[in-house]
Amino acid sequence: MASSPSGSSSSRWSPTQEQVMILEEIYNRGGVKTPNAFQIQQITAHLSFYGKIEGKNVFYWFQNHKARERQKLRRKLMQSQQSQSHRQLLHHSSLHHQPHWCHHHSSLPSAALKPLHQGAGKHHQEDCATSRPALADKPISPQPHCSVIIPQQRPLKTLELFPLRSTHLNLNADPDDKDPTSPSSC
C-alpha cells in the first residue's frame, strides 16, 4: 500500500523513496540541518508532489536525522571509552605544579580577574581566552590576565568528587574561599 494517499490510515508518515532522497540532498548538499519555518514550508510543498506530507514530518525528519547522524558519528568515534588501562595513577600526585594563577584577592573567579588591561574599554564577554599566547610550559598563570594566586592549598590528597550537581561547590576548608558566585563578568 505504501503511501497511498487515499487510505492514509497509517498513524505515521511513511516517506517515499523520492522524498527521502530529496531530504537527504537538502541535508547533505544544502547543508540545511535545522530548517526554519519558512524552509520547512517550502520543503513540504515540494515534497508534497511525491506523496502526502506535512510540515511536522519535515521538521521531525530533520530533527531525527541530525540527531542520529550525530549519534552515529559519536558511536564510531567512541572507541576509547574503555581504555582505562592507563595505570599511571601510581605517581599521579602531580599536584606540585599546579598553577598558582590564582589571585589572592579573596577568591578567584578564575578568569574573572581579567580586567587588568583589557584595552580600550570594551565589555567583551564573548571570550576571555580567545587568544592564547604561547606560554605552554610554565605551569603558572595561563597568562591571560587572571593572576589569581592560590596559596597552594594544602595538598589535599583525597580530593572529593567534583560537584556533579550543584552550582556551587564544596568549599572545604579554604581560608579565603568566599566566592559565592563568581559572576565572572569577564
Partner DNA sequence: GCAAATTAATGATTTATTCAAG
Partner DNA sequence: CTTGAATAAATCATTAATTTGC
Separation of alpha carbons 43 and 55, rounded Å: 8
| Alpha-carbon torsion (138, 144, 150, 156), positive or negative | negative
Residue 124 binding: pick among a copy of itself, DNA, none (C-beta 5-8 Å cut-off by kind)? DNA
Residue 106 binding: pick among a copy of itself, DNA, none (C-beta 5-8 Å cut-off by kind)? none
Pick the closer one to DNA by CB: 38 or 158.
38
Pick the closer one to DNA by CB: 15 or 107.
15
CA of 58: how far to CAs of 29, 30, 69, 71, 143, in Å? 17, 15, 16, 20, 49
Q: Which string of x and - marks every residue 86-125 that binds a copy of itself (by CB under 8 A)? A: x-xx--x-xx-xxxxxx----xxxxxx-------------
Report the residue from 2, 4, 115, 156 that binds a copy of itself according to the rule CB under 8 A: 156
Pick the closer one to a copy of itself by CB: 85 or 119.
85
Helices marked H in the chain: 17-28, 37-47, 55-77
What one-character-per-residue DSSP string does 77-88 give?
H---SS------
- Minimum separation from the CB atom of position 58 to DNA (A): 8
Q: Is 15 in the site for a copy of itself (CB under 8 A)?
A: no
145: Cβ–Cβ under 8 A, 6 or more apart, which residues? 113, 114, 115, 116, 117, 118
Pick the closer one to a copy of itself by CB: 2 or 138.
138
Q: What is the crossing angle of helices 55-77 and 17-28, to 10°?
A: 60
Rg for the chain, CA atoms, rounded: 27
Q: Is 133 in the site for a copy of itself (CB under 8 A)?
A: yes
Residue 162 binding: pick among a copy of itself, DNA, none (C-beta 5-8 Å cut-off by kind)? a copy of itself
Which of the residues 65 through 84 are near a copy of itself (CB under 8 A)?
67, 70-71, 76-78, 80-84
